[in-house]
Amino acid sequence: MQAGVRNLPSVDELAASLSDVDAPRALIVSEARRVLARMRAELRAGQELDATQAALRVRESIALLARPSLKRVINATGVILHTNLGRAPAVPFTPLEGYSNLEYDLAAGRRGKRDSHIAPLIERLTGKPAIAVNNNAAAVLLVLNELARGGEAIVSRGELIEIGDGFRIPDIMAASGAELREVGTTNRTHIDDYRAAISPRTSLIMRVHPSNFRIQGFTAKPRLDELTALARERGLPLYEDLGSGCIADLRPFGIDEPRVSESLDAGVNLVSFSGDKLLGGPQAGLIAGDAELVARLRRNPLFRALRLDKLITQALEATLRHLLFERWSEIPALRMIRATAEEIRERAESIRAKIPALEILEGRSVAGGGSTPEQSISTWLLAVPGNAAAREKELRASEPPIIGRIEDDRLVLDLRTVSPEEEDFLMRALRRLCAL
Residues 79 and 132 in one domain: no
Is 96 among the domain residues? no
Confidence at residue 373, expressed as pLDDT on a 0 to 100 scale: 62
Residues 294 and 226 in one domain: yes
For residue 143, count CB atoms less than 10 angstroms from its CB and return exposed for 0-12, middle for 13-18, buried for 19 or more: buried
Confidence at residue 76, expressed as pLDDT on a 0 to 100 scale: 98
Confidence at residue 222, expressed as pLDDT on a 0 to 100 scale: 86
Q: What is the pTM of this model?
A: 0.91
Is 254 among the domain residues? yes
Residues 349 and 241 in one domain: no
Confidence at residue 1, expressed as pLDDT on a 0 to 100 scale: 40
Boundary-marking domain end, from 309, 327, 345: 327
Residues 382 and 253 in one domain: no
Is 57 among the domain residues? yes
Confidence at residue 370, expressed as pLDDT on a 0 to 100 scale: 64
Residues 122 and 260 in one domain: yes
- Structural domain for 389, as ranges: 74-85+333-435
Is 116 among the domain residues? yes
Is 183 among the domain residues? yes
d(CA 310, CA 103): 10
Residues 321 and 337 in one domain: no
Residues 112 and 230 in one domain: yes
Residues 362 and 291 in one domain: no
d(CA 306, CA 409): 44
Q: What does pLDDT average to in each consecutive run of 10 residues of the chain (436 residues)? A: 73 95 96 95 88 92 95 96 94 95 96 93 96 95 96 90 72 90 87 94 92 67 92 96 90 90 96 96 97 97 96 97 96 97 97 96 88 81 96 96 96 97 96 84
**CATH of residue 424:** 3.90.1150.180
Confidence at residue 3, expressed as pLDDT on a 0 to 100 scale: 55
Residues 57 and 80 in one domain: no
Is 95 among the domain residues? no
Is 278 among the domain residues? yes
d(CA 433, CA 102): 48
400 prior amide bond cis, ω within 30: yes
Is 243 among the domain residues? yes
Q: Tell me, letter by letter, the H, E, C secondary structure of the chain.
A: CEECHHHCCCHHHHHHCCCCCCCCHHHHHHHHHHHHHHHHHHHHCCCCEECCHHHHHHHHHHHHHHCCCCCCCEECCCECCEHHHCECCCCCCCCCCCCCCCCEECCCCEECCHHHHCHHHHHHHHCCCEEEECCHHHHHHHHHHHHHCCCEEEEEHHHCCEEHHHEEHHHHHHHHCCEEEEECCCCECCHHHHHHHCCCCEEEEEEECCCCCCCCCCCECCCHHHHHHHHHHHCCCEEEEEECCECCCCHHHCCCCCEHHHHHHCCCCEEEEECCCCCCCCCCEEEEECHHHHHHHHHCHHHHHHCCCHHHHHHHHHHHHHHHCCCHHHCHHHHHHHCCHHHHHHHHHHHHHHCCCCEEEEEEEEEECCEEEEEEEEEEEEEECCCHHHHHHHHHCCCCCEECEEECCEEEEEHHHCCHHHHHHHHHHHHHHHHC
**CATH of residue 303:** 3.40.640.10
Query: Amino acid identity of 12?
Result: D
Residues 115 and 194 in one domain: yes
Boundary-marking domain end, from 293, 311, 327: 327
Boundary-marking domain end, from 270, 303, 327: 327
d(CA 329, CA 153): 40
- Count of the separate structural domains present in the chain: 3
Residues 127 and 166 in one domain: yes
Q: φ, ψ for residue 87 (rounded to 5)?
A: 55, -130
d(CA 1, CA 125): 70
Residues 177 and 305 in one domain: yes
Confidence at residue 68, expressed as pLDDT on a 0 to 100 scale: 94
